[in-house]
Amino acid sequence: MRNTIASFIFVLVSFSLSAQKYDLAQTPPMGWNSWNRFACDINEQLIRETADAMVATGMRDAGYLYINIDDCWHGERDSLGFIHPDAERFPSGMKSLADYVHSKGLKLGIYSDAGTYTCGGKPGSRGHEYQDALTYASWGIDYLKYDWCNTGGMAAEAAYMTMRDALFSAGRPIVLSICEWGTNKPWLWGGETGHLWRTTGDIHNCWDCEMGYGTWGKYGVLNILDKQNGLRKYAGPGHWNDPDMLEVGNGLTLTEDRAHFSLWCMLAAPLISGNDLRNMPKEVLEILTNGEVIALDQDPLGIQCFKYLDEGDFEIYVKPLADNQVALCFLNRGEKVVDVNFDWKQNYIIDGQTGNSYDFAKENYKIRNLWLHKDIGTTATVLKSTLPPHDVLLIRLIR
User: Do residues 132 and 83 lie in contact, with contact meaning Cβ atoms separated by under 8 Å?
Assistant: yes
Q: What's the number of CA atoms in the CB half-sphere (13 Å) around residue 198?
A: 24
Task: Please give the sequence-ordered ranges of beta strands (E in DSSP) within 222-361, or none if there are none.
Answer: 240-242, 271-273, 306-311, 314-320, 326-332, 338-342, 348-350, 357-359
CA 116: distance to chain centroid? 26
Active site residue 351: no
Instruction: Kindly compute the dihedral angle of the four CA atoms of residues 273, 277, 283, 288, in this order, to the nearest 10 degrees.
Output: 30
User: Do residues 84 and 94 lie in contact, with contact meaning Cβ atoms separated by under 8 Å?
Assistant: no
CA 255: distance to chain centroid? 21
Active site residue 202: yes
Helix (H) or strand (E) holding 392: strand 391-398
Which ranges of 325-396 does DSSP label H, i.e. alpha helix?
A: none
Can you tell me the distance from the alpha carbon of 245 to that of 241, in angstroms, rounded to the nearest whole number? 12
Catalytic residue (one of 71, 132, 147, 391): 147
SS3 171: coil
Sequence-distant (6+) residues with CB within 8 A of 242 are: 177, 178, 179, 196, 197, 198, 199, 269, 270
DSSP state of 305: P
User: Do residues 263 and 329 lie in contact, with contact meaning Cβ atoms separated by under 8 Å?
Assistant: yes
Residue 186 burial (C-beta neighbours within 10 Å; 0-12, 13-18, 19+): buried
- Looking at the DSSP bridge assignments, the partners of residue 391 are 332
CA distances (Å), origin 75, targets 145, 167, 179, 201, 268: 18, 21, 22, 27, 35
Catalytic residue (one of 202, 257, 297, 391): 202
User: Do residues 395 and 376 lie in contact, with contact meaning Cβ atoms separated by under 8 Å?
Assistant: yes
Catalytic residues: 147, 202
